[in-house]
Amino acid sequence: MTDAQRFYVARSLPDALAALADRGRAGAPLAGATWIMRAPIRRERQQGLSYVAISKIGELRNVEILDHEIRIGACVTHAELATSLASLPECRALAQAAGGSANPAVRQVATVGGNLCATKFAAADLVPALICLRAELDLETPRGSERIAVERFLAVRSNMEPDCLLRRVVIPRAARRSVHVRLPLRKAGDYPVAIVSMAATLNSKGIVTDANVAVGAVEPEARRWTRLEADLVDHAIDPRRAAETAEKYSDDFQGRDGVEAPGWYRVKVLASLVRRAALAIQENV
Amino acid sequence: MSLRLNINGEDRLSASDPLTPLVDVLRDEFFLTGAKVVCREGFCGACTVLLDGRPVMSCLMPVGLADGCAVLTVESLALDGVLSPLQRAMEQHDAVQCGMCFPGMLMSLTSFLERNPNPTREDIKAALVGNICRCTGYERIVDAAVSLASSS
């Protein structure tokens, strides 16, 4: 295989799809490459793969803020995302996730699509934030497009067809408050031990009418905490009560053991993170 | 496959495999050994360079993605042997010990201070989250950056 075959820079979406279709299971998209370039550290074999670089495709770098939804191209970097969403309080969870992930240099390169597509990356910051904001994903193949919920994507991403590309993330607009709380070992710069992303819609009396809570980094994949969500609805946001409920329902999660923290610790800190999240929602900061 | 990079203002061609980390191309092909290879996973920042003005971890950047881009390494800072204001500030504050982290520190701060001329101490610390130092405890590095920002 020549260098040009092993590393192809696509200039358009149809070009990328055609290149991926040509390569079949031997091909893979490459955006910011930060996860792929760490493969040797993870002791994963990447030999024989032929990459199709997609980060030069203009439409994948766009953020569109429309009246009814926000569209984020798959190759928008974490830094670009944080800046684009800074003025949208309803998307605070995602702006915080993007602005606080990894470190400044990685945020300049790592993409929202890469964060979603990196399987076996339990501590991906953007994933729980996107779950709590009810994000949907536009997938593109030579045969057409499909929009699916982010949770559905997480379930099928390991078995996607080789010529299927994540084109963009779509977030429905809503009058909600949201927050992203992460616990790294250092103040910043580490993979988080646990993540809680929370979004809530409050009525004029301050009562929660809708709640979405997503937990990341605790288990191998981020997911919603539905029992906690149900308990938050029809009540005013109360950080202490939310933490007590989280403590009560903490056995909903099986913490994963990792080099940076054991599983029991990840579960143990959830109540504290829920309290912080609820406080931020209550104070709308 | 020939890759075109502009490195420290000079157009260069690289014949490296496009998946070669940029840090290895800079060091092994162009003998620019300022950027250091330490963690190879984007945590320590010793390999930080500027790519089209943005700080990036060159250990995680396949050189193929740098094709057509402008790369600035620490070697670009002291033009004609004259230390940059940031380098002078670091020297004045006696901020360097072993030197391993320093090229990355300088590149992160050079970029940061260009975009944020009036940072707080906390802003500077946040900007250095991706640059780990095992020697100094960071405070003199931050002092130097604060002094430079204040004098500007």
- Say whether pLDDT at A49 is over 90: no
pLDDT average, residue stretch A131-158: 96
What confidence score (pLDDT) does residue A284 get? 86
Listed in sequence order, the DSSP H helices in chain A are: 3-6, 13-23, 78-85, 92-100, 104-107, 112-117, 126-132, 150-156, 226-232, 239-248, 263-268, 270-283
Cβ–Cβ of A3/B1 closer than 8 Å? yes
Which residue shows structure tokens 């940031």?
A: B86
- Say whether pLDDT at A203 is over 70: yes
| Domain ranges, residue B71 | 3-76
- What CATH number should be reported for the domain holding residue B118? 1.10.150.120
- Say whether pLDDT at B45 is over 80: yes
Q: What is the ipTM of this complex?
A: 0.95
**Taking the domain A3-172, which CATH number applies?**
3.30.465.10
What confidence score (pLDDT) does residue A18 get? 95
Task: From B24, B42, B76, give the residue that closes a domain.
Answer: B76
Residue A22: what residue type?
D
Q: How far apart are CA A72 and CA A116, in angstroms?
A: 13
The helix (H) or strand (E) run that includes residue B113 is helix B102-115
What confidence score (pLDDT) does residue A45 get? 67
What confidence score (pLDDT) does residue A41 get? 81
- In this structure, are B14 and B70 located in the same domain? yes
CA distances to B95, B114, B123, B124 from B118, rounded to whole Å, are 21, 10, 9, 10
Q: β-strand A69-73 against A63-65: which pairing, if any?
A: antiparallel
pLDDT one-digit tens code per residue, A101-111: 999 999 999 99
Q: How far apart are CA B68 and CA B90, in angstroms?
A: 32
Q: How far apart are CA B73 and CA B6, in angstroms?
A: 11
Q: Is A52 helix (H, G, I), strand (E, B) or coil?
A: strand
- In this structure, are B72 and B98 located in the same domain? no
Task: From B76, B97, B124, give the residue that closes a domain.
Answer: B76
Q: Are A103 and B45 in contact (CB under 8 A)?
A: yes
Bridge partners of A199, per DSSP, are A178, A212
Q: Which residue of B has its CA nearest to A8?
A: B64
pLDDT average, residue stretch B54-64: 97
Cβ–Cβ of B17/A6 closer than 8 Å? yes
Return the minimum-mean-pLDDT range out of A86-100, A178-192, B55-69, B77-91: A178-192
What confidence score (pLDDT) does residue A47 get? 62
Q: Residue ranges per domain, chain A? A: 3-172, 177-283
From chain A, the residues in CB contact with B49 under 8 A are: none
- In this structure, are B101 and B145 located in the same domain? yes
Burial class (CB in 10 A: 0-12, 13-18, 19+), B41: middle
Q: Which residue of A has its CA nearest to B130?
A: A103
- In this structure, are B13 and B72 located in the same domain? yes
Cβ–Cβ of A105/B48 closer than 8 Å? yes
From chain A, the residues in CB contact with B17 under 8 A are: 3, 6-7
Q: β-strand A50-53 against A27-30: which pairing, if any?
A: parallel
pLDDT average, residue stretch B4-18: 97
Please give the model's pTM, rounded to 2 decimal places.
0.95
High-pLDDT (> 90) share of chain A, %? 88
Evaluate whether the domain defined by A177-283 bears CATH number 3.40.50.920: no
What confidence score (pLDDT) does residue A40 get? 83
Dihedral angle sign, alpha carbons of residues A225, A231, A234, A235? negative
Phi, psi of A97 (to 5 degrees): -60, -45
Return the minimum-mean-pLDDT range out of A44-48, A172-176, B1-5, B35-39: A44-48
pLDDT one-digit tens code per residue, B105-140: 999 999 999 999 999 999 999 999 999 999 999 999
What confidence score (pLDDT) does residue A48 get? 65
Question: Which A residues 61-100 touch B at CB under 8 Å?
Answer: 79
pLDDT average, residue stretch A122-146: 96
Mean pLDDT of chain A: 94
pLDDT one-digit tens code per residue, A76-95: 999 999 999 999 999 999 99
Q: β-strand B3-7 against B70-72: which pairing, if any?
A: parallel
The C-alpha angle with vertex B139 and arms to B137 and B141, in degrees rounded to 5, equals: 100
- In this structure, are B38 and B57 located in the same domain? yes
pLDDT average, residue stretch A190-213: 95
The residue length of chain A stands at 285
Q: Which residue of A has its CA nearest to B112?
A: A104
- What CATH number should be reported for the domain holding residue B39? 3.10.20.30
pLDDT-derived band at A46 (thresholds 50, 70, 90) equals: low
Q: How many domains does chain B have?
A: 2
From chain A, the residues in CB contact with B1 under 8 A are: 2-4, 7
Task: From B26, B43, B76, give the residue that closes a domain.
Answer: B76
What letters, b where the CB count within 10 A reaches 16 and e where it falls short, cover B138-150?
A: bebbbbbbbebbe
pLDDT average, residue stretch B38-64: 97
The reply to whether A104 touches chain B by the CB within 8 Å rule is: yes
The reply to whether B121 touches chain A by the CB within 8 Å rule is: no
- Say whether pLDDT at A151 is over 90: yes
Best residue in A57, A78, A108, A190 for a mutation probing chain B (most B CBs within 10 Å): A108
pLDDT one-digit tens code per residue, A236-253: 999 999 999 999 999 999
